[in-house]
Amino acid sequence: MIRHLVHLRFRSDVTPSDKQALFARLAGLSDRIDGIVDFQTRRNVSVETPLVRGFLDMFWFDFRDASVRDAYLVDEVHQAIGVDIVAALDGGVDGVFVCDIEP
């Protein structure tokens, strides 16, 4: 299994409902890409504010294996959602941090 963790630093004008709409679109990829095991989204509650650097939102996908992750990465719908997410971030692409792990 591959867990694909994505940490986001949204612009201050992006509303909770805007974020939820983006996350709902991501969740819809589970119906499109075979092998997505789970999708979750959370708010960062760390008290280490200087270390958080504004990365207050995150989501992750659990993929059956690396081949599913790779299919997700090139999927045109995922890429379109990614463009919309980056447009909503503070600093554009600098407002995203991605980490893949094998739990």
Q: Residue 49's pLDDT is what?
A: 94
Query: Domain map of the chain by residue range?
Result: 2-101
Among candidates 12, 19, 18, which has minimal Cα distance to 43?
19
Q: Residue 12's pLDDT is what?
A: 97
Element (H, E) at 50: helix 49-52
Give CA–CA dist 66/77, Å, rounded. 19
pTM: 0.94
Q: Residue 59's pLDDT is what?
A: 98
pLDDT averaged over consecutive 10-residue blocks of the chain (103 residues)? Answer: 98 98 98 98 96 97 98 98 98 98 92
Q: Residue 103's pLDDT is what?
A: 83
Q: What CATH architecture is 2-101?
A: 2-Layer Sandwich (3.30)
